[in-house]
Structure 1
Amino acid sequence: MRIDHRWLSDIEIERSKEMTRQAKDRPRRHHHVPQMYLRRWAAVDGSSRLVRMTDLATRESDARNPDSLANEPWFYRITADDVDPVEVPDLWFEIHMSRVENDAKHVLDSLDRLPDGQIRDRNLMTDLAVFVGLQSQRTVRSRQGELDIDAGIRRFGVRNVVGEPEMLPRLCLFTGRHYSPDRRDELADEIAEELGDRPLISDADTGAKPRAIESAIGVWRNTVVPHLLVQRSWWLYSTAPLATCDEPVIYIGGRKGRASATSYTFGDAPLVLFPLDPGRLLVLADFTYRPTGPFVLDDADTAAINYEIGAACQQFVYEQDGSGIAAGLHVPPRPVFDPISATTFWESVHPPTRWLPGEGPEWPLSRWSVEAYLAADRR
């Protein structure tokens, strides 16, 4: 399924490629969280343009210019031995994202003028889905996930990957097939052949990064944006002082618990949170949750959400200088994970989370779940 939107269109992608071909400037510093987004955590009164960055592992903290935050050199550069640099200009996706961000700044600013409560403007929701969906796929953790998938497919083979019991039912759903255990081998053969026939941007050993970027773009355009528009309701809440982080799309409420890696995906997380600024939160709920008023979250709710932001981060939490949020966040470290030690593809692409089964606090905002409403009615 493809949503009709300017920034998802082949026309605009080709335009970004042509702009890259003609450009003399070659930006080296690539931001995986946009500067214009992080600037929303600078002082409201303009007294400081700096944002406080805290490394949750080392506890090192410093007030920094947003330009120096959340970036890697050449992070989105697309090059490989068999990639034609004329057909695929190496920095086109970086250029494309900068164009998306220019529009997204105005979209985020428009939210500042909206009251708290449910968002019903379809055009606004579509613009937001494009930006939030892109953010979910452009981070360091997302890149590593795509690289793990690429390495796992090459290690285990397409047919073996497709045939894994955790994979086949999901792939049937994704490809529009009815899964039947009686047709397991037949379905696996069909899907493996279909996937094997799909052209890749690169087949070279040096092409893992281009393949990862191409996959992330496809997931953004074809899966995430449609999911956010079709399967989520959109809500605005005011909060007490709120942080953000280097993985600002936050997944909470997964029914398999904190220890399950799939709890932190669009498919399994009933609530997706996106901090908008130090006092505003965007909430995306699936059909199993019913957000309700008052649309101002109290200190306890905000503290619980800030904890989830800290737990979601790859390394850094960002906040308005003087808030003191990160100083009070203490989450378990992420275990060291080597995909090579995995014995199945599924295991190789699902690194362990911060928690063992049963560990960690209750998910915040669980009172909004349909189950909680039904339990209250029974009482």
Structure 2
Amino acid sequence: MANLADEWPFPGDPNHFVGARHHTVPRFYLEYWADADGHIDVVEKPGGRRYRTSPKTASAETDFYTYIDLNGDLAGHMEQVLGVIEAGASAAIGRISHPTFGQFPPPPDDKYEIATFLAFQKVRGKRRRREIETQADFYMKLQYSGLGSDAIKRLLEERLGHASPEHIAQMEELVANLDDYEFVPDPNEHVRMMGKLAHKIFPHLMRRHWHLGVFDEPVLVTCDEPVMLYKSNPSPIRGYGLLDADEVWFPLNPSMLLILTLEPQPGSMRFSAPISTARTVNTYATHNAYQNIFLHPEQPDIDTEQLADNPLFEVAAPPGVILPDGANKPLKNRTTARRRKPKRK
């Protein structure tokens, strides 16, 4: 992934992307699920509402990747970076999925482009941003929970240099009503972390064994978190991540599934996949989705029983520790923090 840094800054004006709609799932990717009229269907989670739209408007939010730079100005460099990554991946995926000249395994350069794309896709979405927000909220509430007047006074003196009666009273009111508040970090925090996280993920994707499952019919769906982790026998008491997942799944289009295995697999790297595999992958996509499932308009409805809502993550605590009210519960609100214009003095 070093070539991105070597080419920085990219040609053109990155501020061109400030105020634009940014796709958390790339438009070129969603177009694989479009019908002849250029439409895709979206199923919302939770609830299961299904509606038709275009890849241009699906999974897009104004200024999602816009951040505030060191000068206090809005900057669009991250959207520019993602555009370069998507362009490389689009061409590489196109060379795999071409109906006549498709080739697999991909050559090293194409493998590099796709792995870079998957690494960023794993960390760029609304789910990851909401995870950052939820973890920050949990940490702050855990830090403030149960503070008495003396502890509040010491905390204010450490942070402000003094503790006035007014500030102490305000802090006491906050501590007494923590569940009425939500501590939300600025979207800059997510944008700041994306490159570092993707850089850690990338080599693990490259080291895996790449396979391509091809279905006789266009049966796969996808979602707003399309890079999925599969483990055949997950532990009931601990989670698993990219390092120890048996396979990484990524639907390239409705008929092709990219599979990155941890261990070598027997047989051909490109193989004909059974319809039962598609059903399993679609179930995972439905479960893995944060907010939206994407499918071709002619594909059948999603089973509403698969749309059950789950917590983003679960927290274990020793006996006697009272967790914040929102811990280990499904989200009440999937909306992430919106980019605000910087305040001028």
Structure 2 length as normaliser, TM-score? 0.71
1:36 aligned onto 2:40 = no
What does 1:46-195 correspond to in 2, within 5 Å?
Answer: 47-79=36-68, 83-85=70-72, 90-113=75-98, 119=105, 121-150=107-136
Which runs of no fewer than 5 residues in structure 1 stay unpaired?
A: 158-204, 355-379
1:287-319 deviation line (CA, Å, top 9, x unaligned):
2x6264581111111111111111111121111
Structure 1 residues 206 and 238: alpha-carbon distance in aligned structure 2, compared to 1, 3 A threshold: closer
Identity of aligned residues (%): 18
CA apart distance, 1:141: 0.8
What is the root-mean-square deviation of aligned Cα atoms in Å? Answer: 3.5
2:299 pairs with 1:323: yes
Whether contact under 8 Å (1:275, 1:281) holds in the other structure is yes
- Distance of aligned partners of 1:207 and 1:352 in 2 relative to their CA distance in 1, 3 Å threshold: closer
Q: 193, 197, 217: which one pairs with 1:215?
A: 193
Q: 1:226 aligns with which of 197, 203, 222?
A: 203
1:12 aligns with 2:11: no
8 Å Cα contact 2:43/2:51 also seen in 1: yes
2:262 is matched with 286
Q: SS of the counterpart of 1:119?
A: coil
2:18–2:66: 8 Å Cα contact kept in structure 1? no
Structure 1 residues 291 and 64 mapped into 2: Cα distance closer, same or farther (>3 Å)? farther
Higher helix share: 1
CA shift, 1:261, in A, is 6.7
Between the aligned partners of 1:31 and 1:275, the Cα distance in structure 2 is 18
Q: Partners of 1:100 and 1:337 in 2: how far apart?
A: 27
Contact persistence 1:150–1:208 (CA under 8 A):
no
TM-score (norm 1): 0.65
Q: 1:243 aligns with which of 221, 224, 236?
A: 221
State the Cα distance separating 1:35 from its structure 2 match: 0.6
Q: Does 1:26 align with 2:43?
A: no
CA distance change for structure 1 residues 206 and 281 in 2, over 3 Å: closer, same or farther?
Answer: closer
Q: What letter matches 1:19 in structure 2?
A: D
Contact 1:334–1:352, Cα closer than 8 Å, also in 2: no
- Say which of 244, 252, 262 aligns to 2:239: 262
Secondary structure at the aligned position of 1:68 is classed as coil
Asked if the contact 1:237/1:282 (under 8 Å) is kept, the reply is yes
Give me the whole-angstrom Cα distance separating, in 2, the residues matched to 1:145 and 1:206. Answer: 11
Amino acid of the structure 2 residue aligned with 1:102? A
CA distance in 2, matches of 1:279, 1:212: 33
- AA aligned opposite 2:132: E
- SS at structure 1 position matched to 2:56: helix
Q: Contact 1:243/1:309 (CA < 8 Å) preserved in 2?
A: yes
Partner Cα separation in structure 1 for residue 104 and residue 64 of structure 2: 36
Work out the CA distance in 2 between the residues paired with 1:290 and 1:84: 51
Question: 1:94 and 1:334 mapped to 2: Cα distance?
Answer: 30
Say how many residue pairs are matched.
284
Who is 2:279 aligned against?
Answer: 303
Aligned residue for 2:71, secondary structure, equals coil
Paired residues of 1:243 and 1:275 also in contact (CA < 8 A): yes
- 8 A Cα contact 1:335 1:352, kept in partner: yes
Q: Does the aligned pair in 2 maintain the 1:116–1:237 contact within 8 Å?
A: no
- State whether residues 150 and 212 of structure 1, in contact with CA within 8 Å, keep that contact through their aligned partners in structure 2: no
- What SS is found at the alignment partner of 2:295? strand
SS where residue 227 of structure 1 aligns?
helix
1:274 paired with 2:266, answer: no
Q: How far is 1:38 from its partner?
A: 0.2
CA distances 1:28-50 after superposition (whole Å, capped 9, x unpaired):
3111000111001113xxx2200
Supply the AA of the counterpart residue of 1:335.
N
Q: Deviations over 1:40-86 (max 9, x none)?
A: 1113xxx2200111124222111211111112222112127xx3246
Which amino acid is the alignment partner of residue 131 of structure 1?
F
Q: Deviation at 1:255?
A: 3.6
Amino acid at match of 2:306: V
